[in-house]
Amino acid sequence: MKVGGDTHFRSAHQPIRVPVTVYHKHGHQRLVQIREHRAVEVDLADFAEKVADMPPLPGVGFASDVATPASKPGIDAVLTTPVREGAVDDWSRFQGASAAIGHYVRLVHEGRLDPFAGWEAICGYNAAMLRPSWPLDRLMAESERLWALHVKRNGPPLLRAAHAGAPASPLPTFSLGALLDDTSPMPEDVIGPRVLTPGGLLVLGGAPKVGKSDFLISWLVHMAAGVPFLGFTPPRTLRVFYLQAEIQYHYLRERMQQIALPAAVIAAARDTFIATPKLKLLLDAEGVARVAEAIRAAFPDAPPDILVIDPIRNLFDGGPEGGGENDNTAMMFFLKDRVELLREAVNPDAGVILAHHTRKATKHQVKDDPFLALPGASALRGFYTSGLLMHRPDEDSSVRRLEIELRNGPALPGKWTCLEKVPVS
């Protein structure tokens, strides 16, 4: 009962019943079946630590002379006292880790600590106080479990501060007069004209194999070189981090070499365009932390101007409920709790570009409203600042049509493009 085990096991000699084996009792034989499943996975050592942590339950498998454990230690003692495995100290590693994680979860939930600072604090406690330390995946799993439990009990977080220790500030409000009187210069576009604005989100959609990645690579390399491309204009040389999860390294370099790019553009973008090969990674809480670390390592001197995720599908994390791309709630979770957190961790003013596969749609549907073909379109269109959709009006032609939708600027006409490749010897 204390560890959530099977209450039928009252004696130490009883064997564990394994599904699809045969169960013998009272002369009857039955096939063991799973009657109920809970997604909890622990090691045997975890059970021992949990039993040591919990007070005895009167009359349930304990002698009457079992001593009552000491009162729960204060959080200051937990955070500053090393604890060894095997419950040889005043409290166990499981008790210490759970208390420390719970403490930082509360701080993040209340907005008193940035989520990434909270995770760093949890990792710091693990490294300094647990002897030996927990593996990172176990630490992450326990952190996410306690976060989900805390949110379930206390509701959604009231405020998630942008920076560690940032004080809560009142919501910004402006009178009509103040808005009319403010004639200060507009922020500089990341990519003009208003295609990608500071802190903006652009979604590039298209069917598989339509040429999104080739177009995106050509566009991004020009932005990294500070050179206009199809009328899209960077204000200067931009730092671009291209998180792609579709093409393995050797085929990525082959594609880069095949795309016809001017030599001057390539020379200017050699160090300002950083790409990843295909990753076995989900953009969950641990994935966000790993990607943020990689970005900081790639651009140690200044933060990136553009973050790119290509495609959403291969990195998508729909949250605790596990929804897919077509689930608007899961899509909103991914955008707010994964993409936005990654941006906040590396550069709050960076522009984000998401490459997204589209559903099958007829040419008539694409003509009427092309952006409805995006999975999770309701959540995406209410969240992004710019939408680009690439499609092929003529199946026999290499020409592509690019539809454009802007939230922060005047409408732009669609564009036609044809990507060329050169042979690689």
Cβ count near 363 (within 10 Å): 12
Mapping DSSP to helix (H, G, I), strand (E, B) and coil, where does residue 344 land? helix
pLDDT 10s digits, 269-310: 999 999 999 988 888 877 888 898 899 999 999 999 999 999
Q: Which one, of 179, 176, 166, lies nearest residue 107 by Cα?
A: 166
Q: How far apart are CA 66 and CA 61, in angstroms?
A: 11
Q: Residue 387 has which token pair?
A: 């939408």
Confidence of residue 200 (pLDDT cuts 50, 70, 90): very high
Q: Which one, of 325, 327, 407, 405, lies nearest residue 369 by Cα?
A: 405
Q: How far apart are CA 392 and CA 372, in angstroms?
A: 16
Q: Residue 61 has which token pair?
A: 């498998």
pLDDT recorded at residue 69: 41
Q: Which residue has the higher pLDDT, 389 or 75?
A: 389
Burial 300-316 (b: 16+ CB within 10 A, else e): eeebbbbbbbbbbebbb
User: For helices 93-109 and 115-129, what crossing angle results, to 10°?
Assistant: 160
DSSP type of residue 89: S
The whole-chain average pLDDT of the chain stands at 81
In 272-340, at which residue ranges do the beta strands (DSSP E only) sit? 273-275, 306-310
Q: Are strands 201-206 and 386-391 parallel, antiparallel or unpaired?
A: parallel
Residue pair 224/240 in contact by the 8 Å Cβ criterion: yes
pLDDT exceeds 50 at position 70: no
186 inside domain: no
The rounded Cα 176 to chain-centroid distance in angstroms is 38
Q: Residue 131 has which token pair?
A: 């002897």
pLDDT recorded at residue 420: 58
CATH code of the domain containing 254: 3.40.50.300
pLDDT recorded at residue 366: 63
Residue pair 389/403 in contact by the 8 Å Cβ criterion: yes
Residues 6+ apart with CB under 8 A from 406: 194, 195, 385, 386, 387, 412
Q: Residue 217 has which token pair?
A: 């690579």
Residue 324, phi then psi, degrees to nearest 5: -95, -170
Q: How far apart are CA 396 and CA 264, in angstroms?
A: 33
Q: Which residue has the higher pLDDT, 328 or 321?
A: 328
Q: How far apart are CA 372 and CA 366, in angstroms?
A: 8
65 inside domain: no
pLDDT exceeds 80 at position 40: no
Q: How far apart are CA 323 and CA 334, in angstroms?
A: 10
150 inside domain: no
Measured distance between the N- and C-terminal CA atoms of the chain, rounded to whole angstroms: 68
Q: Structural domain of residue 393, as residue ranges? A: 201-292+302-340+347-417
406 inside domain: yes
Number of domains in the chain: 1
Helix (H) or strand (E) run with residue 123 in it: helix 115-129
Q: How far apart are CA 291 and CA 144, in angstroms?
A: 18
Confidence of residue 377 (pLDDT cuts 50, 70, 90): low
Percent of residues, the chain, with pLDDT higher than 90? 29
Q: How far apart are CA 264 and CA 266, in angstroms?
A: 5
180 inside domain: no
Residue pair 275/240 in contact by the 8 Å Cβ criterion: no
Half-sphere exposure at residue 296, Cβ-oriented, CA atoms within 13 angstroms: 12
384 inside domain: yes
117 inside domain: no
Q: Which residue has the higher pLDDT, 168 or 112?
A: 112
1 inside domain: no
Q: How far apart are CA 162 and CA 344, in angstroms?
A: 6
Q: How far apart are CA 259 and CA 214, in angstroms?
A: 7
pLDDT exceeds 70 at position 162: no
pLDDT 10s digits, 116-144: 888 888 988 988 888 888 888 888 888 98
- Mean pLDDT of all residues in 394-404: 83
pLDDT 10s digits, 182-197: 999 999 999 999 999 9
pTM: 0.61
Cβ count near 248 (within 10 Å): 11
Mapping DSSP to helix (H, G, I), strand (E, B) and coil, where does residue 383 land? helix
pLDDT recorded at residue 73: 66
Cβ count near 91 (within 10 Å): 21
Q: Which one, of 323, 321, 337, 317, lies nearest residue 39 by Cα?
A: 321
